[in-house]
Amino acid sequence: MSKKKILIPKGLIFLVLEDTLTMREAVVNQLKKMGFSGQIFEAEKLAEAKDIIKNEKIEFIISDWNLPDGTGYDFLIEIRANPKYSKVPFLMVTTENGIKEVIDAIKEGASNYLIKPWEEVSFIEKLLYAWEKHQD
């Protein structure tokens, strides 16, 4: 891996879809720690997330797999079917048990995946990869 400099706008608008407060806070804090200063929308349910993407222009999505009213996979399918969001980076967060399903998510256009509990290094790495992937 070459040490290519990846430029990522600080003002990116994020959507963090995660039902447990602690995990959601961990993601948001990590983003802030990385220096992102744009708006970070938070959702704990699929329905909320759908509302947000309808009304806002989200530039980066981080979504958990298991949600109270559906799965992150459902969200991914919907997002990719929407022309407005077909190229937006989508980072799928899952647990060790959900690893088999991740393959489907990648096939359906998830930019990359992250296994809980994640470490800061891999969070940053996967986030940058997801961003770069859609910058052609």
Partner 1 sequence: MDKIENLFDEFLDPVIITSYDKQVIYANNAFQILFQTTIRKLKKTPIEEYLHFKESKVFLNKAQSLSENNTNTQIETKFKTSDNIEGTVLVISKYLGDNQVITFLRDMALEVNLHGKYHAELAENEKLIDQLKAAKKKLEIYNKNLEKIVEKRTSDLRKANQYLKTMANSIGQALLMFDINGNCLPIYTKTVVNFFGKEPVNTTITDLLPLSSVEQKTFQDWCQITFQGLIPFKDTLSLSLKEIVVKDRNKDKDLIINLEYFPVKNSKSELTNIVLVGTDITNEVDSKKKLDSQNSYVTMILKIIKNKDSFVTSFKEARHFLNLAFDLLEKINEQKPRNDLLRHLHSVKGICSLYEIKDITTYIHKIEQSINKAQETFEYAFPPDLKSEFIKKIKHTQDIVLSFCEEISPIVGDAILTNSPTKEVKKDDIDFFHKKLNEHNTDLAQQFQRQFKSVPLNYYFKGYELLLSNLAKKLGKKIKPFQIIGGEISIPDDKFKDVFNVVIHLFRNSIDHGIEQPDERIQLGKDPEGQISLEATHLKNTFTLNISDDGSGVNINKLKNSAEKLGISTAKMSREDILRLIFNPKLTTIDKVTEISGQGIGMSAVEEVVKENSGKIDVYSSPKNGTTFTIELPL
Q: Does 112 bind partner 1 (CB under 8 A)?
A: yes
Q: How far is CA 125 from CA 39, 45, 119, 130, in A?
A: 21, 26, 10, 9
Integer Cα distance of 3 and 83 in angstroms: 33
27/71 Cα distance (integer angstroms) = 18
Which of 11, 54, 107, 121: binder of partner 1 (CB under 8 A)? 107
Say if residues 66 and 93 touch (Cβ distance below 8 Å): no
Binding of partner 1 at residue 5 (CB under 8 A)?
Answer: no
Q: Is 27 in the site for partner 1 (CB under 8 A)?
A: no
- Of 3-11, 32-40, 62-70, 102-110: span binding partner 1 (CB under 8 A): 102-110
Pick one of 5, 83, 100, 136: the residue that binds partner 1 (CB under 8 A).
100
Query: Is there binding between residue 126 and partner 1 (CB under 8 A)?
Result: yes
Give me 2's structure tokens. 């070459």
Nearer to partner 1, 1 or 7 (CB): 1
Total site size for partner 1, rule CB under 8 A: 13
Does residue 119 interact with partner 1 by CB under 8 A? no
8 Å CB contact between 69 and 47 = yes
Q: How many CB atoms lie within 10 A of CB 70?
A: 15
Binding segment for partner 1 (CB under 8 A), chosen from 7-15, 51-59, 64-72, 101-109, is: 101-109
Q: Please, are residues 78 and 49 in contact by the beta-carbon 8 Å criterion?
A: no
Residue ranges that bind partner 1, judged by CB under 8 A: 99-100, 102-104, 106-107, 111-113, 115, 126, 129
